[in-house]
Amino acid sequence: MTSIESFFATAARLGSRLAWKHGEREFSWMQAAQIVRRTARALIALGVEPGEAVCVAGPNTPEWVQADLGAIAAGAVPAPIYPTLTAEQARYIARHCEAKVAIVSDAAQAAKLSGVEIVLMSDWEKFLARGDGVPDSEVDRRLRDLKPDGLATLIYTSGTTGPPKAVMLSQGNLWFAAQTAQRIGHVTSEDVLISYLPLSHIAEQMISIHGPTISGASVWFADALEKVPEVLRAARPTIFFGVPRVWEKMQARIEEGLKSPIRRALVRIAPGLVRKKLGLDRARLCVTGAAKINTATLAFFDSLGLPILDMWGMSETTAMGTANLPGSRRVGTVGRPTEGLEIRIAPDGEILTRGPHVFLGYFKEPQATSEALDDEGFVHTGDVGELDGEGYLRITDRKKDLLITSGGKNVSPQNIEIQLGRIPGVAQAVVVGDARKYLAALIVPEVVDKARDPEFVAHVGREIEKVNSRLAHYETIKKFKVLPAQFSIDSGELTPTMKLKRKVVAQRYAREIDELFS
């Protein structure tokens, strides 16, 4: 079974029930299935062959989902591109996956790409009409040829060094993860979800695309973050996923409005009023993941009657791993392993996992694949943790140097540090921002006294802005601190092979780092 087969089966079962809503536009399940078929036919008309990649870039809209599912229905492989990526980054992905077609939201996204045929979502009906001459039987044939172990999608994720790697997820991966999410969350066609986080991320795809193919839940789209509060109040979702930064911002907004003693007392007496104002008065599952969440934020929402369930997974595991669930939640952990998969702690503390959720490997990177997947089929996650006596997993550290912001963005610090280290007068740079809302940098000057030189500090600031212009928005350095020190092997910040000891730096300069985020 595949998730695209489940999609068409669910559409046949639910017919006129609401599948997608975007602003004033509504799509029934029957209409959704018809458009996805037309999308597949249009891609076939453009010459897309089974197994070829189709890039998709743009904000969260029904057209994005139609492009993704339509590509799969045509036997092709979606390769999403974050709309915030630079032209250089977007072109790299399109070249790496050898995309024949790129479906993008507008001219700005199209301008980033070259060498591929561009389809604009703004000309969607015109695009769909191109497939009117392709018989439905050709789509049926390609659907029949899909195999559970066949490549379904490519998820590009930041590596610790070098360009992003493409995680290969199979049809079976998507179907297992969608089925598991539906089962453990008891999700039905009565549930309402909101799509607002980047659809290039596998977690959002499971929420907005593949999960509903089995559950039949309806999805409301917010095509910009600033529209989320409005869509929340209109949709009143029964299930809401937010990365830690989303919950933190929500908390800050609520607390800002509770400065008077009367309002604070009212919230204590009637927290339901706050839930209604947020649009979460019907929420039965509030979920977080992708980064570490502050326990104070968990306690705050507990006081409102909105317990947040922390979960853990990664792109390489189809966003599956462990989960806190209603009735079996342990704060400070990411829950217990979901049924059907294994979690093992290696002798060095690294978390390993095996099961139908584990990816096929990295596209075109056999060496990286062999490093991530061992001979027993376990994926080495790079996270370090421990299982307690009842099977709850606690994440304690990360073997990888990958930073994950509180907004859930994966960032490779080395890529940025290399560029910062090229600034004249700079010896080294350390990017910080794990579980924080933005990135900052510690700058080590070649001459210690330069740390107190206003002209040098201003020079570094100007050069950092130049570096920022070459980075995606979430990778940019918002603040920096020039340290009156130098790193060395003797002082402990560097290994004998001159590699940075991030943990030592984080501990030694904890005060300076905290000031960068104050």
Give the count of beta carbons closer than 10 Å to the beta carbon of residue 327. Answer: 5
Q: Which of 373, 344, 494, 515 has the alpha carbon at shortest distance from 428?
A: 494
Return the higher-pLDDT residue of 498 and 321.
321
pLDDT value, residue 498:
63
pLDDT value, residue 313:
94
Return the higher-pLDDT residue of 142 and 502.
142
> Can you name the CATH fold of 412-516?
GMP Synthetase; Chain A, domain 3 (3.30.300)
pLDDT class of 140 with cuts at 50, 70, 90: very high
pLDDT class of 496 with cuts at 50, 70, 90: low
pLDDT value, residue 161:
47
pLDDT value, residue 262:
65
| Nearby residues of 361 by Cβ (< 8 Å), 6 or more positions away | 168, 369, 372, 373
pLDDT value, residue 91:
95
Angstrom distances, CA of residue 431 to CA of 163, 174, 405, 503: 17, 34, 12, 12
Question: Among residues of the chain, what percentage have pLDDT more than 70?
Answer: 97
Q: What's the pTM value of the predicted model, to 2 decimals?
A: 0.84
pLDDT value, residue 325:
95
pLDDT value, residue 401:
75
Q: At what angle do helices 136-144 and 29-45 cross, to 10 degrees?
A: 90
Find residue 477's DSSP bridge partners.
439
Name the burial class of residue 352, with classes exposed (0-12), middle (13-18) and buried (19+) by CB atoms within 10 angstroms of its CB: middle
Average pLDDT over residues 188-200: 96
The 10s digit of each residue's pLDDT in 2-19 is: 999 999 999 999 999 999
**Minimum mean pLDDT among 52-56, 179-183, 294-298, 300-304: which range?**
294-298
The 10s digit of each residue's pLDDT in 438-495 is: 999 999 999 999 999 999 999 999 999 999 999 999 999 999 999 999 998 778 888 6
The 10s digit of each residue's pLDDT in 246-297 is: 898 888 888 777 766 766 676 677 788 899 999 999 999 999 988 788 888 8
Q: Tokens 């421990």 label which residue? A: 386
pLDDT class of 418 with cuts at 50, 70, 90: confident
DSSP string covering 321-351, please? Answer: EEE-BTTB--TTS--EEPTT-EEEE-TTSEE
CA distance 212 to 84: 26
User: Is residue 425 within 8 Å of residue 447, measured between CB atoms?
Assistant: yes
CATH code: domain 242-397 is 3.40.50.12780
CATH code: domain 3-170 is 3.40.50.980
- The mean pLDDT value of the chain amounts to 92
User: Is residue 181 within 8 Å of residue 105, measured between CB atoms?
Assistant: no
Residue 7 has which token pair?
A: 């999609």
Question: Among residues of the chain, what percentage have pLDDT more than 90?
Answer: 75
What are residue 361's phi and psi, to 5 degrees? Answer: 140, -175
Average pLDDT over residues 205-216: 96
pLDDT value, residue 42:
98
| Nearby residues of 213 by Cβ (< 8 Å), 6 or more positions away | 3, 4, 6, 7, 10, 178
pLDDT class of 159 with cuts at 50, 70, 90: very low
What are residue 509's phi and psi, to 5 degrees? Answer: -115, 35
Which contacts (CB < 8 Å, 24+ apart) does range 200-203 have? 200/56, 200/57, 200/80, 200/81, 200/82, 200/155, 200/156, 201/155, 201/290, 201/315, 201/408, 202/155, 202/167, 202/169, 202/315, 202/318, 202/319, 203/241, 203/289, 203/290, 203/313, 203/319, 203/408
User: Is residue 300 within 8 Å of residue 248, measured between CB atoms?
Assistant: no
Angstrom distances, CA of residue 385 to CA of 312, 391, 393, 395, 461: 12, 12, 7, 4, 38
The answer on pLDDT for 50 being more than 50 is: yes
Question: In one letter, which amino acid is 303?
Answer: S
User: Is residue 209 within 8 Å of residue 69, measured between CB atoms?
Assistant: yes
Residues 294, 295, 300, 301: is their CA dihedral positive or negative? positive
pLDDT value, residue 402:
77
Fold match flag (242-397 vs 412-516)? no
Return the higher-pLDDT residue of 220 and 88.
220
The 10s digit of each residue's pLDDT in 377-386 is: 999 999 989 9
Return the higher-pLDDT residue of 244 and 59.
59
Question: In one letter, which amino acid is 499?
Answer: K
pLDDT value, residue 293:
84
Name the burial class of residue 462, with classes exposed (0-12), middle (13-18) and buried (19+) by CB atoms within 10 angstroms of its CB: exposed
Delimit the domains of the chain by residue range: 3-170, 242-397, 412-516
The bridge status of strand 439-445 relative to strand 477-482 is: parallel
The bridge status of strand 285-288 relative to strand 239-241 is: parallel
Residues 347, 408, 251, 197: is their CA dihedral positive or negative? negative
Average pLDDT over residues 145-164: 83
Q: Tokens 């996204």 label which residue? A: 109
User: Is residue 2 within 8 Å of residue 214, measured between CB atoms?
Assistant: no
Of the CA atoms within 13 Å of residue 150, those in its CB half-sphere come to 19
User: Is residue 128 within 8 Å of residue 39, measured between CB atoms?
Assistant: yes
Distance between first and last Cα of the chain: 50
Return the higher-pLDDT residue of 304 and 497.
304
CA distance 51 to 40: 13
pLDDT value, residue 422:
85
pLDDT value, residue 160:
40
pLDDT class of 369 with cuts at 50, 70, 90: very high
pLDDT value, residue 156:
94
